[in-house]
Structure 1
């Protein structure tokens, strides 16, 4: 079963692909998008949930999304058309690492998609290439709430303890890379639990509703395995922080 299809189904009831309630998403967008923000880029946009919210709230905003999921981008375009914002949204079916915009952006997002760049610091390097002087970055990244156990690592698909850091070390690395956090939000336990129950529940419900689909059994198995890995393994270990960042020494030219 294609991983993009799994993700689309799993996010049916939680279109923001991160453990954030709607009010948290709005708070972060309010911090990211100032009165002078005109161009926004989302690297790893999926179905464009962040951009659609931003475009709907700000009629002068133009946005660009980049992702490898063709169907996700098609759904983003369909939703943008229904909302009347499609003319202000550009969508690119492309590896986010290879995207090259014609001009820098006032704000660049990458929330829950740092794996596309092989980690947090390479993601910041990629963002820096696209960000205009004085611009803001929004980055969402996992961290360890406590030292991960073998069960936690197994539940996360066999990750290594070195794949993430604790919150303080994560922020220290961001600062050492030349960025200053001007706002941040740590997802709450209810947000983390809601995300996981939505993810596994939507996928399991789809399998129940489509018993004759060739992918039904695999979808049910993926949901059950993910749910067990979370509840038995990493529920007390996995955390998520979303940071609004400015360059500490803003000498970048973007583009």
Structure 2
């Protein structure tokens, strides 16, 4: 029998659930705060770190984070309380599909476009962009964090990635920006995660588990956990490293 304490801690080394550095996050927050938003909506928020930073940077602003993972939402609520933002930020455990939470002055969707569309990728990205256009208030801003192919992956690289990975699964960066324009946005800022940001994220994503495995080699869960984390690392190092990019698009809705 195992208890919660027998499991490795989860994602405690990550400030953000994605390849996002402190410097880039600061620039994003500064640009968004300069628009003086009253309301901020975070789709697929996880623990909502960027949501909390934007709300915290704008006196009087309020925010809502929507996600279906209770553990991450609890982490977000605890962080909001610690920063004195619990009266201004709500973390809602609910689906974002057809959400009625908008319109908001700032809408964040970082690595969570699948929460807005059940279509297979890359069509899901286009559908998510149209959904985001309906969630942002006139004159507002959307920040979309989305994967794209840096280049067309080889057959061997695809085979080393996740199950059923496809060469048409992601758009190119140009195709992603075109999809945003087609959905009714103008791209104010187009940024992509650096190799350092990817390495910090990938290592931080597994660090808790790796330390746990080093300390608990004979644990009943060790073999299963080791196989899972080794497969994740191999997928990155042999598959999508240098192939899969991640873009941060700051978008303004066309009036």
TM class, shorter-chain normalised?
0.7 to 0.9
Q: 236-245 or 201-210, which moves further after superposition? A: 201-210
> How much has 1:126 moved relative to structure 2?
2.0
Alpha-carbon separation, structure 2, partners of 1:38 and 1:137: 14
Equivalent in the alignment of 1:30: 30
Is 1:16 the equivalent of 2:21? no
Structure 1, residues 134-193: CA drift from partner, whole Å, max 9, x if none?
111000111111111123323331321111122112212221222110112111111112
Structure 1, residues 60-96: CA drift from partner, whole Å, max 9, x if none?
2110000000111111111111111100011111011
Which consecutive unaligned segments of at least 5 residues does structure 2 have?
Answer: 1-6, 118-123
Equivalent in the alignment of 1:238: 244
Alpha-carbon separation, structure 2, partners of 1:210 and 1:115: 35
Equivalent in the alignment of 2:134: 129
**Equivalences for 1:99-114 in 2 at 5 Å?**
99-101=99-101, 104-114=103-113
- Asked if 2 retains the 8 angstrom alpha-carbon contact of 1:43 and 1:65, the reply is yes
**Equivalences for 1:96-245 in 2 at 5 Å?**
96-101=96-101, 104-118=103-117, 119-157=124-162, 158-209=164-215, 215-245=221-251
> CA RMSD for the aligned pairs?
2.0
Q: Higher helix fraction: Structure 1 or Structure 2?
A: 1
> How much has 1:35 moved relative to structure 2?
4.3
Equivalent in the alignment of 1:39: 39
Equivalent in the alignment of 1:93: 93
- Asked if 2 retains the 8 angstrom alpha-carbon contact of 1:200 and 1:224, the reply is no
After superposition, the Cα gap between the structure-2 partners of 1:221 and 1:21, relative to the gap in structure 1 and judged at 3 Å, is same
- Asked if 1 retains the 8 angstrom alpha-carbon contact of 2:32 and 2:54, the reply is no
Equivalent in the alignment of 1:253: none
After superposition, the Cα gap between the structure-2 partners of 1:12 and 1:246, relative to the gap in structure 1 and judged at 3 Å, is same
Structure 1, residues 95-154: CA drift from partner, whole Å, max 9, x if none?
1114212x5210101011112234321211222222111111000111111111123323
Higher relative contact order (CA 8 A, sep 6+): 1
Alpha-carbon separation, structure 2, partners of 1:128 and 1:73: 25
Structure 1, residues 9-56: CA drift from partner, whole Å, max 9, x if none?
2x3212311111111111112222334211000000001111122233
TM-score (norm 1): 0.87
Q: 12-21 or 132-141, which moves further after superposition? A: 12-21
Q: 23-32 or 139-148, which moves further after superposition? A: 23-32
TM-score (norm 2): 0.87
Which consecutive unaligned segments of at least 5 residues does structure 1 have?
Answer: 1-5, 251-255
